[in-house]
């Protein structure tokens, strides 16, 4: 059954925070938390924010800006703060800020900020329109505008990259390998 949705929803309606304790089974052999654990939590919180705004199930379409700049340790409390930054017709861009807190010292580190593009689906699995976004603060407006720029740059980059790759003539590009740590052995 498809439930009726409002024309617009405010950013605050779907803002969510997910907090999870980093337990030993999340750690890799070096004692740090697996990147995949954090990615899974990010996907979960992106889904929560997107589906709340959409009032429908959502799927993850693409992920941008995932850089793990600082390791997360066992015992730390990780919080993922998510909000819908931008909506298209059926897609939503969810911004996620990840912070990790050492509960003993109280110190907090910002581990990364990433952007998940989600698409709302109806009961038959087709992309479906999402409510527009009511921008309640200057920061909401800045994020919406930033998302437009992000989308423009991504499309331009994708077109340029596809063009560069499709015209890649290997024999003429071998000089690029001279300073790389590889050798041709065929
Ligand atoms: C994403 C998906 C819905 C697109 O379907 P489609 O028939 O091409 O639909 P459309 O072309 O109408 O695109 C739907 C929306 O997705 C957006 N979109 C499609 N591909 C995209 C991409 N690579 N990056 C960002 N947005 C994308 C479109 O811009 C459009 O947004 P809009 O309605 O706000 O303008 C479809 O490919 C799909 O269901 N993929 C599987 C997603 C999934 O299951 N993820 C879980 C992980 S396995």
Closest residue by Cα to atom 31, ligand 1, is: 91
Query: What mean pLDDT do residues 46-72 have?
Result: 96
Query: Within 10 Å of residue 100's Cβ, how many Cβ atoms?
Result: 20
User: How many Cα neighbours within 13 Å face the side chain of 149?
Assistant: 6
How far is 122 from 25, CA to CA, in rounded Å?
36
Contact 18, 38 (CB under 8 A): no
Question: What pLDDT is recorded for position 162?
Answer: 96
**Ligand 1 centroid to 129 CA: how many Å?**
12
Closest residue by Cα to atom 43, ligand 1, is: 59
Q: Which domains does the chain have, with CATH numbers?
A: 8-135 (3.10.129.10)
Identify the bridge partners of residue 33 per DSSP, sorted by sequence position: 27
Contact 118, 94 (CB under 8 A): yes
Dihedrals phi, psi of 47, to nearest 5 degrees: -60, -45
Q: Residue 2's closest CA among 56, 61, 63?
A: 56
CA-91 nearest atom, ligand 1: 34
Q: Which tens digits make up the pLDDT trace of 119-173? A: 999 999 999 999 999 999 999 999 999 999 999 999 999 999 999 999 889 999 9
Closest residue by Cα to atom 20, ligand 1, is: 61
pLDDT at 69 over 90: no
Closest residue by Cα to atom 7, ligand 1, is: 127
How far is 79 from 85, CA to CA, in rounded Å?
18
**Ligand 1 centroid to 158 CA: how many Å?**
16
Burial class from Cβ neighbours inside 10 Å (0-12, 13-18, 19+) for residue 34 reads middle
Predicted TM-score (pTM) above 0.85: yes
Question: What pLDDT is recorded for position 167?
Answer: 86
**Ligand 1 centroid to 61 CA: how many Å?**
6
86-97 per-residue burial string, b: 16 or more CB within 10 A, e: under 16: bbeebbbbbbbe
**Ligand 1 centroid to 63 CA: how many Å?**
12
Closest residue by Cα to atom 5, ligand 1, is: 127
With bands split at pLDDT 50, 70 and 90, how would you rate the model's confidence at 78? Answer: very high
Contacting residues for 11 by C-beta, under 8 A, at least 6 apart: 83, 84, 133, 134, 135, 136, 137, 140
Q: Give the binding-site residues of ligand 1, using a 6 Å CB cut-off.
A: 59-62, 88-91, 117, 119, 127
């Amino acid at each position: 059954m498809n439930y009726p949705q409002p024309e617009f929803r405010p950013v605050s309606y779907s803002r969510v925070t997910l907090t999870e304790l980093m337990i030993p089974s999340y750690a890799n052999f070096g004692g740090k938390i697996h990147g995949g654990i954090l990615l899974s939590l990010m996907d979960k919180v992106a889904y929560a924010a997107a589906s709340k705004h959409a009032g429908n199930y959502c799927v993850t379409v693409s992920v941008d800006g995932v850089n793990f700049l600082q390791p997360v340790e066992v015992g730390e409390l990780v919080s993922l703060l998510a909000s819908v930054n931008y909506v298209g017709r059926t897609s939503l861009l969810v911004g996620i800020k990840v912070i990790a807190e050492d509960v003993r010292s109280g110190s907090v580190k910002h581990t990364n900020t990433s952007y998940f593009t989600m698409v709302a689906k109806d009961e038959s699995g087709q992309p479906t329109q999402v409510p527009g976004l009511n921008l309640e603060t200057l920061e909401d407006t800045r994020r919406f505008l930033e998302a437009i720029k992000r989308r423009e740059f991504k499309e331009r980059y994708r077109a340029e990259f596809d063009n560069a790759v499709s015209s890649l003539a290997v024999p003429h590009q071998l000089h690029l390998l001279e300073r790389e740590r590889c050798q041709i052995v065929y």
